[in-house]
């Protein structure tokens, strides 16, 4: 039974790795394709970010540059939008789309978007849970061994707390998907409203943002596979111990 479950798990992980590789390749190829298309407004990713900050009366956020390609991110704790070198100086449709996406996160934070606030609140919980989940399962196994006659369920309950904490990463990935989709929707609305892109340039920007969204979907699927594997492994361990009594 164990080996059968293991092979199913490895098959699922290999599928996730394949999907991840396809999604990453799609992002790179789509970005490269539209990075060669200059937007008519002539704005760079930096220009677009600054325009959107001013248009929304935001003065406490700065725009910086970081190394790498597609390493763009918004850091709310430091109040900065970091654009990758490929986005910061480029005046392509792809560059302004990515910059506007990060500005979408800024607006989510400023407007108190529920899913964004929930995801932010989950960060310390996920970090804490990932460190504590496995020790709790091990403690549960020990308690199950030493207190089998007095409190037979205490070990299993402790182990399941570990599973629930591990599941925080799944919840985080689940919440991330609507957050990213909403940021992309905001980005497209702002790009049009501020005249950074025209209506006929928008489909190219949508392709870039949609390709990026696929990576988050694959990440969610991979996290789900790992969580189910962890859950089934714990249930199997305690099932075997119960059968030996």
Indicate the DSSP class of residue 117: H
Q: Do the strands 80-84 and 62-66 form a parallel or antiparallel pair, or are they unpaired?
A: parallel
**Closest Cα partner for 236 from 6, 7, 16?**
6
Distances (CA, A) of 100 to 65, 181, 232: 15, 13, 42
| Residues 99 and 211 sit within 8 Å (Cβ to Cβ) | no
What is the CB-side half-sphere exposure of residue 48 using CA atoms within 13 A? 35
| Residues 186 and 107 sit within 8 Å (Cβ to Cβ) | yes
Give the residue numbers annotated as catalytic, written as ranges: 102
């Amino acid at each position: 039974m164990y080996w059968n479950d293991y092979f199913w798990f490895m098959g699922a992980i290999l599928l996730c790795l394949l999907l991840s590789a396809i999604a990453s390749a799609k992002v790179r190829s789509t970005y490269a394709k539209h990075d060669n298309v200059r937007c008519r407004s002539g704005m760079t990713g930096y220009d677009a970010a600054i325009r959107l900050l001013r248009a929304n009366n935001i003065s406490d956020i700065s725009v910086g540059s970081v190394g790498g390609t597609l390493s763009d991110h918004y850091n709310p704790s430091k109040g900065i939008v970091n654009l990758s070198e490929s986005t910061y100086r480029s005046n392509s449709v792809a560059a302004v789309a990515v910059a506007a996406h990060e500005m979408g996160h800024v607006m989510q934070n400023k407007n108190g978007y529920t899913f964004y606030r929930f995801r932010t609140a989950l960060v310390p919980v996920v970090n804490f849970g990932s460190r504590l989940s496995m020790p709790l399962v091990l403690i549960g196994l020990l308690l199950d061994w030493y207190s089998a006659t007095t409190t037979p369920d205490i070990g299993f309950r402790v182990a399941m707390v570990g599973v629930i904490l591990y599941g925080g990463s799944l919840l985080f990935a689940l919440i991330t998907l609507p957050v990213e989709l909403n940021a992309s929707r905001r980005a497209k609305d702002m790009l049009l409203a501020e005249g950074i892109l025209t209506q006929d340039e928008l489909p190219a920007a949508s392709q870039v943002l949609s390709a990026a969204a696929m990576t988050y979907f694959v990440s969610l699927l991979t996290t789900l596979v790992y969580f189910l594997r962890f859950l089934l492994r714990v249930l199997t361990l305690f099932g075997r111990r119960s059968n030996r009594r």
